[in-house]
Amino acid sequence: MVPKHLVEFLDQVATTPHGRNGSLKVHLFRTYEILCTEKAEEAVCLAGLFHSIYGTTHYKVKSVSNREVIRSLIGERAERLVWLFCQWDRRQTIPSASAQEMADLVILESANRRTQ
């Protein structure tokens, strides 16, 4: 279950349309649910809940730009995954990402694709 304070935050910032399935918020929640169901680490699940909040190479809407706000909500590791995910061109690795971070990003992308 998504913590109440995160639901309230996303209610405010993730209201834009996203794909054919509704709002960004719906997409983020579905991604989070997939990751939790698959027993991903908590930081990966939380990153899934916010994975495109800064906009991505494909989804250009930037719902939030202040990384400190997101870091305070979901923690440093999860926020870093979100930030990396939002910058990631899926055709290549991210030079500044560790091998573990790239593995986590692949898990996030898999869940992301299944919700679209």
Calculate the alpha carbon distances from 57 to 67, 87, 93 in Å. Answer: 18, 7, 14
pLDDT 10s digits, 60-86: 666 677 899 999 999 999 999 999 998
Cα angle: 29, vertex 23, 32; to 5 degrees? 10
Mean of the per-residue pLDDT values of the chain: 89
| pLDDT over 90 percentage in the chain | 62
| Residue the block writes with tokens 């991505």 | 56
Q: What is the pLDDT of residue 67?
A: 92
pTM higher than the cut 0.75? yes
- What size, in residues, is the chain? 116
Tell me how far apart the alpha carbons of residues 51 and 35 are, in angstroms, rounded to a whole number.
12
